[in-house]
Amino acid sequence: MKDIILRSGALKAHVNAFGAEWKGLEKDGLEYLYSGDPAYYGRTSPTLFPIIGRFLSDTYYVGDRAYHLPLNGFAMDRNFSVEEEKEDRATFLLAADERTLAMYPFRFTLRVTYALSPEKMTVRYRIRNTDTQALPFGIGCHTAYRWPLTPGENPSDYKLCFEKEETITSFNPFNWKTPGFVLGKTRPLDHSLFENYTRSMTGIRSDWIEYRAPSGHGVRIERSAFPFLAMWSLPDEGAELVCLEPCTSVHAGGATTLNDRMGIIVLPAGDCCDKEFSVTPF
């Protein structure tokens, strides 16, 4: 569970080998990521693989055999090895083993690289199929930002801003939909939005979105490589976090196989898949 501190210019980041988790992002003394208070959400930004969300009863099938995966997969609760450590970057590695094969009968390697520049953090995923069969998977994160970013601000004065005009329907894990969840370039935020669990979106035209505070602080998330964006918090203003989660796949409805899940990637034997997003604090 090695801790690593990255530095570049005015930015400082904290990453950890357990769950290949991003734990902190600081600029000019302001911390942007959530503290990980277990009273509400005991993590900050773990890696989600090979699923985002869950199966009903945490059970799915490969052929006629039943397997069991926990919520958001197993990667978030595994200790990755540290493959590279430099002042401004770190790469963590997880490979299939007896524990993963018991839950997920596919061989793979998963590398997560955090690369810090003076302006932004870039998160890169590389999945390699080391099996002789196709590899079905989803990849993403569960990044929690402080909400509010600075003391005394009203959470309801925060908003999401989109690069382009949008018309987006949101949906929750049970596929309950809200047409017109985003109309135009902004979406006001409020804790009441999360009374019906996670809000997921797809069909986003914008290459980037911004999470903005009334103070003018916020982050720009460049997420065009990820077709889904999940949002989660609790309907309780004591929960001072909002999760903004670029991901390739989400949970919606009653899928019983990996291939039935929305957005699942099926990687041929021997192939690699690379995905990345970046976060620019301001």
Residue % of the chain over a pLDDT of 90? 96
pLDDT of residue 181: 97
- 18-27, 92-101, 128-137, 246-255: least confident range: 246-255
Q: Are 129 and 267 in contact (CB under 8 A)?
A: yes
Q: 148 is written with which tokens?
A: 């509010």
DSSP single-letter state for residue 254: -
Query: 73 pLDDT exceeds 90?
Result: yes
What is the overall mean pLDDT for the chain? 97
Q: What is the mean pLDDT of residues 57-75?
A: 96
Question: Per-residue confidence at 251, pLDDT binned at 50, 70, 90?
Answer: confident
CATH for the 3-281 domain, from 2.70.98.10, 2.30.30.90, 2.40.50.90, 1.10.3720.10: 2.70.98.10
Query: 273 pLDDT exceeds 90?
Result: yes
| Alpha carbon of residue 36 to chain centroid | 15
Closest Cα partner for 228 from 150, 144, 169, 174? 169
pLDDT of residue 1: 79
Q: What is the mean pLDDT of residues 96-103?
A: 98
How far from each other are the two terminal CA atoms of the chain, in whole angstroms?
Answer: 30
Closest Cα partner for 273 from 177, 98, 139? 139
Q: Are 7 and 88 in contact (CB under 8 A)?
A: yes
pLDDT of residue 252: 78
pLDDT of residue 258: 96
What are the sequence ranges of the domains in the chain?
3-281
